[in-house]
Structure 1
Amino acid sequence: MASEIHMPNPVCLIENRDRKLVVHQEALQLLSGIHQPVVVVAIVGLYRTGKSYLMNKLAGKNSGFPLGSTVQANTKGIWMWCVPYPGRPDQTLVLLDTEGLGDVEKGDSQNDSWIFVLAVLLSSTLVYNSIGTIDQHAMDQLHYVTELTERIKFKSSPTENSGALEDSAEYVRFFPTFIWAVRDFSLQLELNGQPCTDDEYLENALKLKIGQSREDQVFNLPRECIRLFFPARKCFLFERPTNRKNLHRLEEMEESELEAEFVEQAIQFCRHVYKTSKPKTVPGGHVVNGRLLANLVETYVGTIRSGGVPCMENAVLALAHMENSAAVLEATGRYMELMDQKLKLPTETLQELLGIHAKCEDEALQVFMARAFKDDQQQFQAELMRALAQKKEAYCRQNELESSKRCKALLKRLSKEQENRINKAFYSRPGGYQDYFNDLKTVAVRYHQESGKGVMAESEVEQFFKDQEAVGRAILQSDEALTDKEKEAEGARTRAEVAEREKEIQKQKQAELEQKLEDQKRSYEANIEYLKEKMEKDREKLLEELNKMLENKLWQSHEANIEYLKKKMEKDREKLLEEQNKMIESKFQEQKALLEAGFQDHAAQLKEIFLLRKESENIRTQDWIASMLNAASNIFSSVLPVLINGRVRCHRRHKH
Structure 2
Amino acid sequence: MAPEIRMAAPVCFIENRPDGKLVVQEEAAKLLAGIHQPVVVVAIVGLYRTGKSYLMNRLAGKRRGFCLGATVQGQTKGIWMWCLPHPHRPDHTLVLLDTEGLGDVQKGNTQNDAWVFALSILLSSTLVYNSMGTIDQNALEKLHYVTELTKKIRVRSSSRDCRENENSAEFVRFFPDFIWAVRDFTLQLEIDGRSVSEDGYLEAALKLQQGDTEQIKKCNLPRLCIRKFFRSRKCFTFDRPTSRRNLPRLEELEEDDLEADFLEPVASFCQHIWETSQPKTIPGGQIVTGRMLTTLAKNYTDAINSGIVPCLENAVLALAEIENAAAVRKAISHYEAQMGQRLVLPTGTVEELLQVHAECEREATAIFLACGFGDSIEQFQAELVQQLQKKKEEFCKRNEQVSYDRCCALLLELSQALEDGISKGIYSVPGGYKHFLERQNEILEKYRWVPEKGIQADKALEEFMKSKETVAKSILQMDNALTDKEKAIEAESARAKAAELQQKMLELEQAKLVQMVKDQERTHAEQMQLLKEKVEEEKMRMQEETEKMVQHKLKEQEQLLKEGFQETSREMAEEIKSLRKENKTPDWVAISSQIRGIFESVAPLIFQYKMMSKLSSQPNAEKK
Count, aligned residues: 577
Give the 3 Å change call, closer, same or farther, for CA 375–73 of structure 1 in structure 2. same
Partner of 1:248: 248
Q: Aligned AA for 1:4? A: E
Deviations 1:612-640 (A, max 9, x none): xxxxxxxxxxxxxxxxxxxxx9xxxxxx9
1:563 CA drift (Å): 5.0
Deviations 1:84-117 (A, max 9, x none): 1112112111000000001111132111011001
Structure 2 CA distance, aligned partners of 1:337 and 1:309? 44
Structure 1 CA distance, aligned partners of 2:111 and 2:97? 20
Structure 2 CA distance, aligned partners of 1:160 and 1:530? 34
1:205 CA drift (Å): 0.8
Contact 2:88 2:275 in 1 (8 A): no
Partner of 1:379: 379
1:560 CA drift (Å): 4.3
Q: Find the residue that maps to 1:60 and give its secondary structure.
A: coil
Partner of 1:485: 485
Q: Aligned AA for 1:298? A: K
Contact 2:320 2:376 in 1 (8 A): no
Question: Any residues of structure 2 matched to 1:104-503 within 5 Å, and which?
Answer: 104-163=105-164, 167-376=167-376, 378-503=378-503
Q: Find the residue that maps to 2:128 and give its secondary structure.
A: strand
Q: Find the residue that maps to 1:15 and give its secondary structure.
A: strand
Q: Find the residue that maps to 1:180 and give its secondary structure.
A: strand
Q: Find the residue that maps to 2:447 and give its secondary structure.
A: helix
Judge which range, 345-354 or 59-68, deviates more: 345-354
Q: Find the residue that maps to 2:31 and give its secondary structure.
A: helix
Contact 1:83 1:92 in 2 (8 A): yes
Q: Find the residue that maps to 1:501 and give its secondary structure.
A: helix
1:4 CA drift (Å): 2.5
Q: Find the residue that maps to 2:130 and give its secondary structure.
A: strand
Contact 1:37 1:290 in 2 (8 A): yes
Aligned residues: CA RMSD: 2.2
Q: Find the residue that maps to 1:167 and give its secondary structure.
A: helix
Structure 2 CA distance, aligned partners of 1:60 and 1:544? 35
Partner of 2:99: 98
Give the 3 Å change call, closer, same or farther, for CA 458–653 of structure 1 in structure 2. closer
1:252 CA drift (Å): 1.2
Partner of 1:89: 90
Greater C-alpha Rg: 1
Partner of 1:606: none
Deviations 1:125-170 (A, max 9, x none): 000000001111111111100000111111011334231x663221
Gaps of 5+ in 1: 569-632, 634-639
Q: Aligned AA for 1:254? A: E
Contact 1:3 1:84 in 2 (8 A): no
Deviations 1:169-190 (A, max 9, x none): 2110110010000000111210
Q: Find the residue that maps to 1:526 and give its secondary structure.
A: helix
Deviations 1:58-83 (A, max 9, x none): 11111111111111111100000011
1:274 CA drift (Å): 1.3
Structure 2 CA distance, aligned partners of 1:559 and 1:195? 21
Contact 1:2 1:89 in 2 (8 A): no
Contact 2:84 2:95 in 1 (8 A): yes
Partner of 2:602: none
Partner of 2:28: 27
Structure 2 CA distance, aligned partners of 1:553 and 1:489? 96
Q: Aligned AA for 1:234? A: K
Structure 2 CA distance, aligned partners of 1:446 and 1:552? 80
Deviations 1:569-592 (A, max 9, x none): xxxxxxxxxxxxxxxxxxxxxxxx
Structure 2 CA distance, aligned partners of 1:110 and 1:565? 32
Structure 1 CA distance, aligned partners of 2:123 and 2:220? 27
Q: Find the residue that maps to 2:251 and give its secondary structure.
A: coil
Contact 1:44 1:98 in 2 (8 A): yes
Question: Any residues of structure 2 matched to 1:445-594 within 5 Å, and which?
Answer: 445-564=445-564
1:119 CA drift (Å): 0.1
Partner of 1:592: none
Structure 2 CA distance, aligned partners of 1:369 and 1:94? 26
Structure 2 CA distance, aligned partners of 1:2 and 1:427? 70
Deviations 1:40-61 (A, max 9, x none): 0000000010101111111111
Contact 2:560 2:566 in 1 (8 A): no
| Structure 1 residue ranges, 4+ long, deviating more than 6 angstroms after superposition | 565-568, 651-655
Partner of 1:607: none
Contact 1:324 1:375 in 2 (8 A): no
Q: Find the residue that maps to 1:126 and give its secondary structure.
A: strand
Q: Aligned AA for 2:66? A: F
Partner of 2:593: none
TM-score of the superposed pair, with normalisation by structure 1? 0.85
Partner of 1:37: 38
Structure 2 CA distance, aligned partners of 1:295 and 1:530? 27
Give the 3 Å change call, closer, same or farther, for CA 375–420 of structure 1 in structure 2. farther
Identity over the aligned pairs, expressed in percent? 54
Contact 2:324 2:377 in 1 (8 A): no
Structure 1 CA distance, aligned partners of 2:567 and 2:415? 106
Structure 1 CA distance, aligned partners of 2:463 and 2:174? 67
Judge which range, 57-66 or 526-535, deviates more: 526-535
Q: Find the residue that maps to 2:97 and give its secondary structure.
A: strand
Q: Find the residue that maps to 2:468 and give its secondary structure.
A: helix
1:566 CA drift (Å): 7.3
TM-score of the superposed pair, with normalisation by structure 2? 0.89
Structure 2 CA distance, aligned partners of 1:60 and 1:515? 61
1:552 CA drift (Å): 3.1
Structure 1 CA distance, aligned partners of 2:585 and 2:290? 36
Structure 1 CA distance, aligned partners of 2:567 and 2:332? 64
1:255 CA drift (Å): 1.4
Structure 1 CA distance, aligned partners of 2:411 and 2:480? 29
Structure 2 CA distance, aligned partners of 1:138 and 1:468? 99
Structure 2 CA distance, aligned partners of 1:132 and 1:334? 56
Asked if 1:50 is matched to 2:51, the reply is yes
1:369 CA drift (Å): 1.1
Q: Aligned AA for 1:335? A: Y
Give the 3 Å change call, closer, same or farther, for CA 526–567 of structure 1 in structure 2. closer
Structure 2 CA distance, aligned partners of 1:515 and 1:497? 27
Q: Find the residue that maps to 1:104 and give its secondary structure.
A: coil
Gaps of 5+ in 2: 588-624
1:344 CA drift (Å): 2.4
Structure 2 CA distance, aligned partners of 1:93 and 1:243? 31
